[in-house]
Structure 1
Amino acid sequence: MNVTNLRGASLAAIAYCCLSAGASAHSIKAEPANGTLASFDIVKTTIVTKGDTAVFTTRVRGEAGKDKPDATGKFEGSQVYAYVWPTSLDSGDIGFDKAQGIVALAVTFHPDFDDAAYGGKNRHIWHPHWVVLAKDKACGAGLKVVDIPEGSKPKVPPTWPNVPLLIDSPEYPTTFKGDTVDVEIPLSLISGISGASFDGVTAGLKVNGNLHAPLLCVADVFKIASGDLSLPGKVVPAK
């Protein structure tokens, strides 16, 4: 399935269709949107703490993880599908330099390249990343994963996959079950998560065809849980 087949709506239209979305103390609920592919149609997204673990959860109208991008056979122009939790965390909280952009956890699938830590393979499985996002009008949805300029030596976490992007590849337990995707992260690795704000997004990303900045764009936004990326969710202990 091609990302372009999923466009169908601008960010403004997506926001309009989700204005009925509501936030409780810790979760964000959204009305189903029949114009959105069911596997990416968020109906609820949550981040809670349970003991010494933070649990990121998104529930969709269909089967989570069912739809994946088609392989293109090359890195340039290849596609990425993602379940994303934008947060109020600082990039310094996840091992990069401070104040570099919007920190988000993303569970991704991309069949044309590997970006696991230490040279590992991950192109054929859904897997988690920390990413730092920033606005860029050159991208279809106006956001990119922040590039690392050639010659610069920024602070990076130990599981940085040695690519010129502010992206991390930790091996957090990630589970797809029915309509739900869950990621479990030790609180010791993200101590700033308690009380943080968050949102939920499903999106398609694309590698720039000429491999120049921006290298990795958010090309399509399928659904925003809040409707407007206002991060209304709050991370609280699970009841």
Structure 2
Amino acid sequence: MVLTGVIMSVALATSASAHDIKGAKGNADRPDFDIVHTEIVRTGDDLVFSMAVSGKAGASRPAPSGKLAGSSVYSYVWPTSLNSGAIGFEQDQGILAFAVTSHPDFDDTPLYDENGDGDKTNDGDLWHSHWVVLVPDESCGKGALKIRDIEEGAKPKLPSTWPGLPILIDSPDYKPDLAGTIVTVRVPAAALGDTKGIKFDGVTAGLRINASVHAPLACVANVFDVASRDLSLPGRVMK
């Protein structure tokens, strides 16, 4: 499955009433990536991103390859209708998505020491959070997406927690909780500006780091499941 028609899907206008996304069990081969429920709930000053799967959340992580080039990333993703400018990128750069990822071959959260061992560069295998900007790129496969690359020599506007990779990715210190069948992350709503009317979806996917570590750097190579089945972003934030 590839994410086709994504840009058009984000622009679709559907019901404005707040609601979650419920899915049928068995749409993905891997139970830990088989989405059965996705929601974003406003709780106090936070937006709580939540995704339930039919198996144990986070049970699978990519096998280490020993190098960045050609390595894999596993992810739980909430594509949203938020503008990329909401978190500090330039406006209108693509699909702004929140993601919880694991990748043992590199660390893209250089400001934080997630495993508490005193080394900030060795904990990419632990599940952690990102904002990413997704755009179509046929070189990743027909109808496939990538994390938007930063062209050589370009000096785009970037969030303060950008990890230094030449792609539109942000590494805020929002700690995910993977317990039982559910992935949950609390995100300060104030950090996103106006969150009224946010639309969202849920996706589980594997990304591939290009073997040459060159544009495109990170392709969405394998989509395990899509909560809505068509990436129409039917979800609305609930209170």
TM-score relative to the length of structure 1: 0.87
1:69/1:109 contact within 8 Å kept? yes
> How many angstroms apart in 1 are the aligned matches of 2:79 and 2:194?
14
Partner in structure 2 of residue 214 of structure 1: 216
Query: Superposition pairs for residues 13-52 of structure 1, below 5 Å?
Result: 25-33=18-26, 35-52=28-45
Identity %: 53
Deviation at 1:139, TM superposition (A): 1.1
- Residue 227 of structure 1 aligns with which residue? 229
Instruction: Report the more deviating stretch, 131-140 or 218-227.
Output: 131-140
How far the C-alpha of 1:236 sits from its partner, in A, is: 2.5
Deviation at 1:114, TM superposition (A): 0.6
Where does residue 9 of structure 2 map in the other structure? none
Tell me the distance in 2 between the aligned counterparts of 1:83 and 1:25: 22
**Larger deviation, residues 168-177 vs 191-200:** 191-200
Deviations 1:146-202 (A, max 9, x none): 000010100000000011000000011310110000010111111233320000000
Match of 1:56 among 46, 49, 54: 49
Q: Secondary structure of the residue that 2:100 maps to in structure 1? A: strand
Mapped to 2, the partners of 1:209 and 1:124 lie a distance apart of: 19
Structure 1 pair 34–187 and aligned structure 2 pair: CA distance change class (3 A): closer
Distance (whole Å) between structure 1 residues aligned to residue 144 and residue 175 of structure 2: 30
Any gaps of 5 or more consecutive residues in structure 1? 1-9, 13-22
Counterpart of 1:168? Answer: 170
SS at match of 1:118: coil
Contact 2:207 2:218 in 1 (8 A): yes
* 1:95 is the counterpart of 2:88: yes
Q: Which amino acid aligns with 2:43?
A: K
Q: What SS is found at the alignment partner of 1:228? A: coil
Q: Confirm or deny: 8 A CA contact 1:195 1:236 kept in the other structure.
A: no
Question: In 1, distance between residues paired with 2:75 and 2:31?
Answer: 14
Residue deviations 1:89-133, cap 9 Å, x none?
000001100000000000000000010143733312100000000
* CA displacement, residues 179-228 of structure 1 (integer Å, 9 cap, x when unaligned): 00001011111123332000000000010001121010000000000001
What RMSD in Å do the two structures reach over aligned CA positions?
A: 1.6
Q: Which amino acid aligns with 1:227?
A: R
Query: CA contact under 8 A between 2:40 and 2:237: conserved in structure 1?
Result: yes
Q: Which runs of 4+ in 1 moved over 6 A?
A: none
Change in Cα spacing, 1:39 to 1:154, as seen in structure 2 (3 Å) is: same
**What pairs up with 1:101-140 in 2 under 5 angstroms?**
101-118=94-111, 120-121=120-121, 122-140=123-141
> Partner of 2:182 in structure 1?
180
CA distance in 2, matches of 1:155, 1:190: 16
Alpha-carbon distance in 2 for matches of 1:25, 1:194 = 10
Q: What amino acid sits opposite 2:173 in the alignment?
A: E
Q: Is the 8 A contact 1:27 1:233 kept in 2?
A: yes
User: CA 1:152 to 1:48, structure 2 compared with 1: closer, same or farther past 3 Å?
Assistant: same
Question: How far off is 1:35 after superposition?
Answer: 4.6
Report the Cα offset of residue 34 of structure 1.
Answer: 5.6
How far, CA to CA, are the matches of 1:34 and 1:147 in structure 2? 31
Pairwise CA distance, 1:88 = 0.1
In 1, Cα distance between equivalents of 2:146 and 2:2 = 15
- How many residue pairs get matched? 218
Cα separation, 2, equivalents of 1:34 and 1:217: 22
- Indicate the SS of the match to 2:39: strand
Could you tell me how far apart the structure 2 residues matched to 1:108 and 1:124 are? 8
